[in-house]
Structure 1
Amino acid sequence: ISYCGARFLLDEITDYKPWPDSERYVHALSIKEIEFCEPFDVSILSDAGGKYWAVKYMQGAKPIREEKAIHVLDETFRKNQIDELYRFPEEHSEPEIDFTDEIIEDEKEAQKLVKEVPEARIDIMGTFQTIHFVNETDKISGLEILVNNNFYSLFPHFPENRTLLIPENRIFKTKGVKKDGHIIQGIRTIPDGLLFVFNKNQKKPIQINLIEYECYGEKKTRGTDKSNYLNTTIIPQLMRFASAFSIITDENTRRSTIENWVDKIIDYINSNDELSGKIIGWIKELNPKIKERSIEREIEKLLIDAFKTNLRVLLVIDELSTEQKSTIQNVISSFKLENGDNIEFVGYVVRLVQSISINDHSAQYALTVQ
């Protein structure tokens, strides 16, 4: 049984997806202007949608456009409207939720469904073949250059007007740890880029992402090679990112790294009018009455605070299993920031595919073969 207990307006695209099956959804949006009601069974939509109402209205993220269905939902909601979120009585054990869509194996039934609900059909744009990136750093067909050049197309949940990407992999170095006056090898680390995410509705409005690009590419094709590289190179590198800003690192070293990076970030932003205008706009959204001479000081303050309280390690790689992603997440989240929060982790798999044939430019789906 599915219930409706709230309605709201969709707001901005976000990468915050706290539900269990979040990886199934390409887009997520924040919400605003929420209204509540006593939960009612949404099967009332069967009056408007017929036998296949669930597929028609509930399967996938899509608007309900039929006036009859809209009227039924609105009328039922208004009759049951309440002021606060209804909370179901607590159960001793959480019921296991099945997120699998209804499976239709009967061909005649499938034909009936598609006839009644044409949008249920999966139309194929074309067919593609998965190929390897050369490696991470190749300037023509390397993962890093191709992702940077297509960043906002790949990651629509990072809208360009709400994020700031610095795709430079040699500007920022962590301070490193000294012993007897010398930097200990393997402690200092350099991310491939930084991504700043702005959300004025959060207590910590700027989140800093340390970007690491990794690629098995054409040379690491065997499972054992990939596993060894993940465990001996990638994970230790991500741990160095996290440790550099975690409380396990000496406070003076952390402070020195943060101050040095913030100076370089501000210099980089000031050298680009578009980026400068963007971050100044963010500051004015947070404080419309701020004086011009105070803006740079406020930017510096927000960046320093973000490094101390709202930091995430972001991995982009050409292959990563769910189990591997979970392992890395557990490792990175064990590092704590100054405010006691865990450093976060997110991993994205990006693959290079080559078209075999393009059949329908208006379709939303494609098939790939590897």
Structure 2
Amino acid sequence: MSARTRGSTAVAVALTATLTAATAALLTGCGPTSGARAVTTPPAATNTPSSGSSAAPAGGATPSAGTAPSASASTTPAGGSTPTGTPTTAGSTRAPVLNGTANSKLTISDGTRYVVMNGTRVDFGTAVRDLAWSPDGRKAAFIDGAGNLALANPNGTGRVTVARNPGGQNWSHPTWQVTAYDSIPELSGRSNILFAVRKSGVSELDSVPSSAVNGTPKKLGLGWEAGDEVKPVPQTGNVWPSAGGTHGSAVYANSGTGEVFIRDDYVRQQGSALTHGSQPAMSHSEHEEVVFVRSVGGHDHLFLENPTDAGPVFKDLTPYATTDYTEPAWAPDGSTIAARTPAGIVTLSTKSSAAPKLVSTYTGLPSYRG
């Protein structure tokens, strides 16, 4: 039984960013909780966007220092892909603008120990790679400086190692699979963290309960839909998972086929290819819309897929792109998408054709705190 209408076509990601001045704001509202280790002076650095899956260093390895004081930068995993948020020195002393995150739920992580949120930076005490917020916004999941899967409070405190990297592996892109109890058809609630694992040159998807402490991840099952025309989904080469919706569904990319796949985990686990693209993100709504990146005319565009009873409807959100839009993230209410560009973080509406708006010149991985 499928939780959404399926279809095959495309969805791609592209965005651009620019913003002007801003002073760091105090932590309020959707910002970190009281007691946060806030740092109001940002480092003078920018980051090179990554089109592939990011990865933490092999277990136990401490990354080299980044541009922020005592900050750790991610190392490049086997296979040549650049980890998300790897800081690179731009050669400029101009401080990047943080205030695009003020009074909003947008956060930015760049592979250092500092996470930008609510117009300031919060010190998590370890490198933070591929940060993903729980749906309720109370916990942050990320790959830490030792390559482990960790959780922490929004102010960087209370860090717990959910699963410890055994070494020789690169872990990346955690995402929360959270569902409530469903009386029809009698399904218990779940709270798992799915993430990508690369070992011995092979990538797969793993899962571990979010409540685990030094837990042992298990390979994520990837079944496929029944039918003569449906091909079995690949079991390796899978990266960039993103769970969403209300039924435990997720999307992910496959580096071998260049396609985005959907994994349906409602009643009976099944899945299939959705379209050609990369870096998919699933919305938190019951409609399970998907945004992803696809190259068009020499630039990475952002595409939106809306499932309907008549089949999927696709829309290029950045039809006039003159830059690359990557690493999209959904706002909790589904009305806005943030993405990374060489200039910084941009946002754009999913409801209108308005051009992307540069909201922060601080570059890194965007994410929204629920």
TM-score category of the 2 structures, normalised to the smaller one? under 0.3
Question: Hey, which of these two has a bigger chunk of strand by percent?
Answer: 2
The normalised TM-score by structure 2 is 0.25
The normalised TM-score by structure 1 is 0.25
Question: Hey, which of these two has a bigger chunk of helix by percent?
Answer: 1
